[in-house]
Amino acid sequence: ARLMVADVMSSVVGNARAEITQRQQEFSLSLAPNLPNIWSDIERIRQVASNVLSNAIKYTPNGGKISVKAFEINVNDIPSKQREGLQVGRRYIALAVQDSGVGIDPSEHEKVFDRFYRTENPLKIEAGGTGLGLSLVRPLIQLMGGRIWLESVVNQGTTFTFIMPVAAD
Ligand code: ATP
Ligand code: MG
**Does the CB atom of residue 141 touch ligand 1 within 6 A?**
no
**If you average pLDDT over every residue of the chain, what do you get?**
96
Residues with CB under 5 A from ligand 2 (ion): 55, 133
ipTM of the complex: 0.98
- pLDDT 10s digits, 118-151: 999 999 999 999 999 999 999 999 999 999 999 9
What is the pLDDT averaged over residues 66-90? 95
What DSSP character marks residue 37?
Answer: P
| Pocket mutation for ligand 1, best pick of 59, 154, 159 (most atoms within 8 Å of C-beta) | 59
The model's confidence at residue 82, banded by pLDDT at 50, 70 and 90, is very high
Residue 92: C-alpha distances to residues 20, 33, 68, 163 (Å): 28, 15, 16, 6
